[in-house]
Structure 1
Amino acid sequence: MPFSLLKYGLSSEYPVDVDLPAPKELKSSYDVVIIGGGGHGLATAYYLAKYHGITNVAVLEKAYLGGGNTARNTAVIRSNYLTSEGVKFYAESVRLFKELSNEFDFNIMYSERGQLTLAHTDATVRAFRQRAEVNKHFGGRTEMIDRQQIRELVPTLNLDPGHLPVLAGLWHIDGATARHDAVAWGYAKQAAKRGVEIHQLTEVLDFVMENGRVAAVKTNRGTVKCGCAVQAIAGHSSLLLNKLGIRAPIHSFPLQAMVTQPFKPFLDPLVSSSALHCYVQQTGRGEVVFGGGSDPYPLYNTRSTLDLKESLLAHAIEMFPFLANAKLMRQWAGTTDMTPDYSPIMGRSPVDNYYLDAGWGTWGFKSTPICGKTMAELVASGGRTPELIKPFALERFSTFQQVNEMGATAASH
């Protein structure tokens, strides 16, 4: 054993940079209570503390930090959406992602690799042309490419899978990946340094209402008063909203993914096909990740299923036939909150001091920085909604002003 390591372990005076303070008891009250210790909740706490000086904040997480959907996604970052509202929102998130490692002084392993989405029909080609123009107009770097360019970009890709030959592709230069747990811990560490309290194993059970406002939050560790509360609990959003009598058009579905044994690098871009309901990427460790559409029925369970594995891998092998002999290492699932227009619900709720960050479907991780920044602005201003998230308000479903992002996913849902 190296002497320095032994000295580190035995010395009481050796300098140690602790990421999070030791657990402590809940205080009786906080200015802001954030429900959910995933990427969004931690990002909101960080931006409140750093840019608005609001540090009397408690982040309440029923399990462990980043252990929900933050830990269960496939870490894709992109902004190639369909609508002007979506592109502007996610393009700003990509911009923030690029600077997070420097801002945290903590490596989130951000890797810009580009995303290639395949078009198998003439109708998809036409839709991709329009999508590329919308992206260019609102700051995204997206363009159409032909078969020859696809062949040069991904030499191992089968361009003629069964009855669905590849006609063209949508090449999104800004497509990237990052370590999802590093993003969560980076936000947590910096928020804690500024005085934010982070309480793990603290489940919110109910609310105390006074004069139409949330006066306190009941947890398994006691009741705490709050000036306002922010909900950021992907997967179970509707269950908590029900406790407040808030109706929202959210249905939760399992979303599964799986990963193979490591291989030497052969795939740099992220490759997806909504027609084949599949996307494929290779991690920095050489593992090949497969993902696809969500399960076709609502469920809160995060179990893996054989039927999804069989159908997803059959389509993946059509794209990359040589992977037929690859060995799977693991399979997992998360729970996605889907809305009718495939866009999130952000902003104020019918309860005056209760703010919503919900309905993320499969888009939550890639929006982490901009969601935290805008939700912090919302809270710090006392409820004045930032322009960037006004289109995602809950009331859009009653005024018929949906932001339709159906079809913008890497694999169809």
Structure 2
Amino acid sequence: MIPAFVPLKILRYGFRKKYPAERFIPPAKDLKKSYDVVIIGGGGHALACAYYLAHTHGITNVCVLERGYLAGGNTARNTAIIRSNYLTPEGVRFYEQSLKLYREFSQELDFNILYSERGHFTLAHTDAAVRTSRWRAEVNKQLGVNSELIYPDEIARLCPHLNMSDKVRYPIMGALYHPPGSIARHDAVAWAYARGAAKLGVEIHQQTPVTKILVENGTVKGVETPRGTVYANRVMQAVAGNTSMVAKMAGFRLPIRTIPLQACVSVPLKPFLDQIVVSGSLHVYVSQSSRGELVMGGSTDPYGLYSTRSTLDFKEGLLGHMLELLPMLGEVKVLRQWAGMTDMTPDFSPIMGLTPVKNYYIDSGWGTWGFKATPVCGMTMAHTIANDSPHDLIKPFYLDRFVEYAQVGEKGAASVGH
């Protein structure tokens, strides 16, 4: 007997005699001489923007230019955590909208991203950390976000595998508990947006780096690539760790420093950790993937570097703290280790919207929280490009706030030390 919950689509596929693979992106074609919009970068944010330009605003003459392969940069190098329990009202509203879009994602784009609500714990090991957690919880509640400060007894009940002993260097005194905290498959998010955009007529060109940005009288005119010059009415960059270098080609500077952020995964284990656990004091965060791997990360490296190499120092420091939280993992082996390039701003909030160059837009400064913002970035940047005016949700993240002393301080909610 076939179970009633098996989707009809899977049944049809199972009874086929032939199994033609679905092509996500049409075969590559020659670049056109001009487009309404050129998007530099082929990661999650860029592809989401292309999708919403076509889907919501009807702008389909769009070209996405990626120097490597799709989602091969920071989209492929993150730890796939989704949450909205930030510290400032501006940040909470922004990420709460992203979380809502993630909940509807698979249905809208007909693509399983393995979205899984786990509950997110930000552990507090000091009186100061408890006060910050209480502060964040109150801000969250005022804005309708499910978040609360809980104490050791409740933490032990909800997450029984954590070491709650007070005989350790950093005893757990409390936690900010965020039940909607989730994880999702990062590459699935990017591929879903790529497929959706391509179906609507967006052109996606891989292995096509931008070598020059054409600016005349303060207005962008197009870009140069090894495959020829491409003219455009409007251009957006969403290039993660290469933000400052691409902005320099457009003729302006950004208050961003780029530093590596490392992570690793263990060999697959029998599922035991349902929650996402974060400790800002220990500079560690961990969740268990649907394949059983423990996905673990730590703080950013203490120096600027354009590199995705991994180090022994990171692994030793991270795993030492992991064993304090979860001592039973002493014999578990690390499967692989990697790093991504994070663009850090002075106030730990992104830089989005208009730039000093007319018709040139930017989606940048994501530091360690870019993946969770993917849908809302696509939605708001598409609105900004289509209307040449920033969406209300991203108005606080304008570039000139650093000149006007109007920063949006999110350091207290970044979850890992920087």
Runs of 5+ in structure 2 lacking a partner? 1-13
Q: How many residues align?
A: 404
Q: 2:78 aligns with which of 60, 73, 94?
A: 73
Residue 64 of structure 2 is aligned to residue 64 of structure 1: no
SS in 1 for 2:306: coil
Structure 1 residues 342-351 or 123-132, which shifts more? 123-132
Q: Aligned-pair distance for 1:5?
A: 11
What is the CA–CA distance in structure 2 between the aligned matches of 1:93 and 1:5, rounded to whole Å?
38
Query: Are the equivalent residues in 2 in contact too, given 1:91–1:139 (CA < 8 A)?
Result: no
- Residue in 2 aligned with 1:393? 398
- Residue in 2 aligned with 1:30? 35
- Residue in 2 aligned with 1:259? 265
SS in 1 for 2:322: helix
What is the CA–CA distance in structure 2 between the aligned matches of 1:216 and 1:111, rounded to whole Å?
41
SS in 2 for 1:165: coil
Query: Are the equivalent residues in 1 in contact too, given 2:348–2:414 (CA < 8 A)?
Result: no
- Residue in 2 aligned with 1:270? 276
Q: 1:98 aligns with which of 103, 111, 118?
A: 103
Q: 1:364 aligns with which of 367, 370, 379?
A: 370
- Residue in 2 aligned with 1:114? 119
> Which letter does structure 2 place at the counterpart of 1:112?
E
> Which letter does structure 1 place at the counterpart of 2:328?
F
What is the CA–CA distance in structure 2 between the aligned matches of 1:37 and 1:282, rounded to whole Å?
27
Change (3 A) 1:263 1:184: same
SS in 1 for 2:343: strand
Query: Are the equivalent residues in 1 in contact too, given 2:238–2:364 (CA < 8 A)?
Result: yes
What is the CA–CA distance in structure 1 between the aligned matches of 2:173 and 2:179, rounded to whole Å?
19
- Residue in 1 aligned with 2:7? none
- Residue in 2 aligned with 1:355? 361
SS in 2 for 1:330: strand
Q: Aligned-pair distance for 1:162?
A: 2.2
Structure 1 residues 53-62 or 164-173, which shifts more? 164-173
What is the CA–CA distance in structure 2 between the aligned matches of 1:91 and 1:139, rounded to whole Å?
9
Q: 1:134 aligns with which of 133, 136, 139?
A: 139
Aligned Cα RMSD in Å?
Answer: 1.3
> Which letter does structure 2 place at the counterpart of 1:272?
V
Percent identity (aligned): 58
Deviations 1:247-270 (A, max 9, x none): 110000000000111111111010
What is the CA–CA distance in structure 2 between the aligned matches of 1:332 and 1:127, rounded to whole Å?
31
SS in 2 for 1:293: strand
Q: Aligned-pair distance for 1:7?
A: 5.9
- Residue in 2 aligned with 1:203? 209
Residue 172 of structure 2 is aligned to residue 180 of structure 1: no
Query: Are the equivalent residues in 1 in contact too, given 2:50–2:64 (CA < 8 A)?
Result: yes
Q: Aligned-pair distance for 1:238?
A: 0.2
SS in 2 for 1:401: coil
> Which letter does structure 2 place at the counterpart of 1:379?
I
- Residue in 2 aligned with 1:12? none
Give matches, 1:35-46, under 5 Å: 35-46=40-51
- Residue in 2 aligned with 1:280? 286
